[in-house]
Structure 1
Amino acid sequence: MNQKGKRKLSIAACLMLTFTLLLSGCGSKTGTDTSAADSGSGGKNEQVTIKYYNWDNADQTPKTDALLKQFEQENPNIKVEHVVLVPGNSQEMLKKLDFLISSGEAVDVVAMPSLGAVNERAARGALAPLNDYYKASNLVPEDEYYVNPKIGDKYYGMQLTNSYQYVLLNKDALDEAGLKVPTYGWTWDDYRDYAKKLTKGEGVDKRYGSYFHTWELYMNAPAQTVMKNPFRYEDGTSNFSDPTYKYFFQLRKDMETVDKSAKPYSDVLAAKLNYRTEFFNGDAAMILSGSFMTPDPGNTEQYPHTFKTAFAPVPLPPKNAEPKDYEGGKYFVGGNHVVMGASSKHKEESFKLMRFMTTVDSDSKMEFSGWKKADNNAVLNRLIGKNSNMYDVDSLKSTLFGEHNQFLEASQVVSTTDSEMMSIEDDGFSKFMLGNTPIEEVQKWMVDEATKVIKEKESK
């Protein structure tokens, strides 16, 4: 080969080598960019590990583990580590979670016990908004969940469970008194009338028409059941001035002292009574409670009784006692939520796990779902079990899933004073029930104390 030919071959070889290096360089750069872009998603083939935090007790942990294993099988590129922060104690779990967040730990998915717990952490930037992920998945939150934690126009959680409130009634006592099972639209005045007619006997053998326990739920039931926030108006001010407080405090006192259809509050406190025992022992014919009691009528081994239990929606406030922010018979609905930490490095995977946890159907699920498209009748059948004869099933289904069921949108009030508000309500209620302080004076004291707490704690 002559010198000219060798030169052409050398140039061709150099060009080929340069082209190869360019391809290699481009490929390397593309790989780096993809890795950086997918640092929150792990890429298509790279397996990532995310953490799911909650407060499961010993009975709940295996059920959650089974669900997470199912998720991993359906999503082989995502491994989930189940972290139980404080077994069986949601409030202590929140304290530990806050410590992890403040220490800079990357937090992926967390179960939250309440809407308030979500709002409080979202407001201080600890949670990631879900808007972009909903949009990418073509999902409208209001079409998916009953309650959507939201601050401004940003969504911060998915409803995991749905907790209803209802009234349990002794069906045998109703039949004996010639009373029908109440339906949607009955009021607290009607409840008082039912309680009078269901009261029977004297002394140790007396059956009261109603039992009210020591929780805030029984101090002002309308505030707890038909208002978005039990202690605040949506403008952030205390709602202790609301007409429902005067009405329900007086109703409670009249049922004890005038009608004698409810066991005295002083006796409930002194004897440290158990609300389940009072109802299933036949000492009270009605009790306001929540859907966590759904399995109890069928559990005759733990709660021995022979009567059938009927169910009714929570009574509504009468015309003279409607809340200031009343929305025409819509109910507050509680439940747990799942949220995504702002510090998560795998947000797409976290969103995928959140959707799975809130929408998956499993025989191990024993709580009603916050997902609107879930088969909650299947959950109900699991909760009732084999002892359906102990239930007035029609009234239970109508109460839980009837056409009347409309739920309030989530409150956007961000509060850090709930524990103080509970204490003020407890003290105010005790002043009225156990003493002779007029209701107007009690209510003014409650408003003044609440306003003071809000200014001191939240104006900083």
Structure 2
Amino acid sequence: MKKRSAMLLLSIMLAIVTVLSACGNSDSGNSNKGGSASPNASSDKKAPSDEKVTIKYYNWDNESTSPNTRALLDQFEKENPNIKVEHIVLVPGNSVEMLKKLDFLISSGEAIDVIGVPSLDAVIERASRGALAPLNDYYKAEGLVPEDEYFVNPKIDDNYYGMQNTTSYQFILMNKNALDEAGLPVPTYGWTWDDFREYAKKLNKGEGVDKRYGSYFHTWELYMNPPAQTVVRNPFRYEDGTTNYSDPTYKYFFQLRKDMEAVDKSAKPYADVLAAKLNYRTEFFNEDAAMILSGSWMVPDPGNLEQYPHDFVTAFAPVPLPPASAEPKDYEGGKYFVGGSHLAIGATSKNKEASFKLMRFLTTVESEFKTEFSGWKKSDPKPLIDRLIGGNAKMYDVDSLKNSLFSDKIEYLEASQVVTTFGSQLAKVQADSFSKFMLGNESIDDIQKQMVDEATKIIKENTK
């Protein structure tokens, strides 16, 4: 009798444990860190409608941008009274150091909600490590197609991991007074780097220390081979994963740069740029150069006469395309690569639905507190252009600016499907090879072969 009572008691206890275990696993969908399976949106713990949740938003705001972010978050909280947002600036104004601190928090197991991520590559790298939550089911629940919403959608296999928040465009800034003086029209979409070279020759003026060069190239990767940075999806690798340093654009542009310096004398020598540690803004606004390749972060500068005093009008042109003889292997008919920051959800977040709601708000809201172009395709950029130009519209050829960014002819590339977590190593190969070619006497063929060999070795070592 005692034995039967003991057995009955044991059975009851086992049943209770089973029920409790089942309850404890009801939110297991949120613990997926593998990054390969889409989470179940319904697996988020459902809070009663009157229960408030707090989510954390991590980014690298500085002193001037942080108040704007807080204003946007206040508006979100007003529209969503059950969601409170804590704004956490990990490293003010430094996205590189911010990512290091973020990775430490992720590795320590801290619950991470919404993250501001500075680039597509930074999203893909963390998604490949399982640090970010896929967004598929949240998009599906809202009836959204990411490609219809955003210019670039970070994706691994069929899973989306980032929501584009801001967009950075590239264009050519041009001294409109110098163009008029030389009888040159403002270029439009479709002009090539061969055309750019001809423009630079005609925009040269003067000699010696008073010379105005037709163009200026700075020291960044962007200026070593702009076609690889502006008209293909990945600056270092083809979509099949191999190095693109064998691409005809490298031979073409390396040689173009050297010829513009040594033959045409229309670009300040690379050696002088390095030695003098020149400032690209100063070179343009001091009229030491009539053209410069740059990006949308410079839109406010022509109107900032206090910081950059000058008396010429700035015109804008789309980035030149490679000529037919130097089109990249992965060329997609003149579409441009577009950069920008993204928002993502940490795999460890316990409030993914609320986090997704905040991300959609931040990426789609039209607000005076936004100071960068939106990554949302349906955004109206004109009010932002007016705000960026400010009260000095007379210093701009405004039509050329709008035409360079939003012409109906201009299309943008989708995200690369190649995951490269060792881009800095490949970038160093390019920088070292470019310097060797510009400052030495080796042939472009020898330089390119060395680049291909070194990059192939790095790719093999990192993709075993």
Q: What is the TM-score of this pair, normalised by structure 2? A: 0.91
Distance 1:324 1:204, change over 3 A: same
Q: Does 1:188 align with 2:188?
A: no
Following superposition, the deviation at residue 237 of structure 1 comes to: 1.2
Q: Match for residue 443 of structure 1? A: 448
What is the total number of aligned residue pairs between the two structures? Answer: 429
CA-to-aligned-CA distance 1:91-140 (integer Å, 9 cap, x gap): 11111111111111111100110000011111111111111011110111
CA-to-aligned-CA distance 1:244-293 (integer Å, 9 cap, x gap): 00000000000000000000000000000000000000000000000000
Distance 1:340 1:40 in 2: 16
Q: Match for residue 291 of structure 1? A: 296
Out of 243, 246, 249, the residue aligned to residue 251 of structure 2 is 246
Distance 2:60 2:122 in 1: 14
Q: Match for residue 55 of structure 2? A: 50
Contact kept, 8 Å, 1:256 with 1:263, in 2: the verdict is yes
What one-letter code is carried by the residue in structure 2 that aligns with 1:377? K
Q: Does 1:334 align with 2:345?
A: no
What one-letter code is carried by the residue in structure 2 that aligns with 1:77? N
Contact kept, 8 Å, 1:40 with 1:348, in 2: the verdict is no
Q: Which runs of 5+ in 2 are unaligned?
A: 1-19, 28-41
Distance 2:243 2:98 in 1: 28
Q: Match for residue 171 of structure 2? A: 166
Contact kept, 8 Å, 1:181 with 1:311, in 2: the verdict is yes
Out of 433, 444, 450, the residue aligned to residue 428 of structure 1 is 433
Distance 2:401 2:306 in 1: 21
Out of 144, 147, 163, the residue aligned to residue 152 of structure 2 is 147
Q: Match for residue 225 of structure 1? A: 230
Q: Which structure has the bigger radius of gyration?
A: 1
Out of 363, 366, 369, the residue aligned to residue 368 of structure 2 is 363
Distance 1:41 1:55, change over 3 A: farther
Q: Match for residue 70 of structure 1? A: 75
Matching of residues 258-277 of structure 1 within 5 Å: 258-277=263-282
Q: Match for residue 89 of structure 1? A: 94
What one-letter code is carried by the residue in structure 1 that aligns with 2:289? A
Q: Match for residue 396 of structure 1? A: 401
Distance 2:350 2:303 in 1: 46
Out of 383, 386, 389, the residue aligned to residue 384 of structure 1 is 389
What one-letter code is carried by the residue in structure 2 that aligns with 1:230? P
Distance 1:143 1:422 in 2: 32
Following superposition, the deviation at residue 39 of structure 1 comes to: 5.1
Q: Match for residue 5 of structure 1? A: none
Matching of residues 118-137 of structure 1 within 5 Å: 118-137=123-142
Out of 91, 105, 130, the residue aligned to residue 100 of structure 1 is 105
Distance 1:144 1:226 in 2: 21
What one-letter code is carried by the residue in structure 2 that aligns with 1:312? A
Following superposition, the deviation at residue 40 of structure 1 comes to: 3.4
Following superposition, the deviation at residue 188 of structure 1 comes to: 0.1
Matching of residues 15-34 of structure 1 within 5 Å: none
Q: What is the TM-score of this pair, normalised by structure 1? A: 0.91
Following superposition, the deviation at residue 235 of structure 1 comes to: 1.3
Q: Match for residue 378 of structure 2? A: 373
CA-to-aligned-CA distance 1:315-335 (integer Å, 9 cap, x gap): 000011000000010000000
What one-letter code is carried by the residue in structure 2 that aligns with 1:333? V
Q: Match for residue 18 of structure 1? A: none
Distance 2:458 2:130 in 1: 23
CA-to-aligned-CA distance 1:16-68 (integer Å, 9 cap, x gap): xxxxxxxxxxxxx9xx89x9677534331110110000000111111111111
Root-mean-square deviation (CA, aligned residues, Å) is: 1.5
Aligned structure 1 segments of 4 or more residues deviating by more than 3 angstroms: 35-41
Distance 1:46 1:335 in 2: 35
Out of 189, 196, 205, the residue aligned to residue 200 of structure 1 is 205
Contact kept, 8 Å, 2:44 with 2:352, in 1: the verdict is no
Contact kept, 8 Å, 1:161 with 1:367, in 2: the verdict is yes
Out of 448, 453, 463, the residue aligned to residue 458 of structure 1 is 463
Out of 421, 424, 430, the residue aligned to residue 419 of structure 1 is 424
Contact kept, 8 Å, 1:72 with 1:79, in 2: the verdict is yes
Following superposition, the deviation at residue 405 of structure 1 comes to: 1.4
What one-letter code is carried by the residue in structure 2 that aligns with 1:335? G
What one-letter code is carried by the residue in structure 2 that aligns with 1:372? K
Contact kept, 8 Å, 2:186 with 2:315, in 1: the verdict is yes
Q: Which runs of 5+ in 1 are unaligned?
A: 1-28
Q: Match for residue 7 of structure 2? A: none
Contact kept, 8 Å, 1:41 with 1:346, in 2: the verdict is no
Contact kept, 8 Å, 1:246 with 1:443, in 2: the verdict is yes
Contact kept, 8 Å, 2:229 with 2:337, in 1: the verdict is yes
Identity, % of aligned positions: 74
Contact kept, 8 Å, 1:109 with 1:354, in 2: the verdict is yes
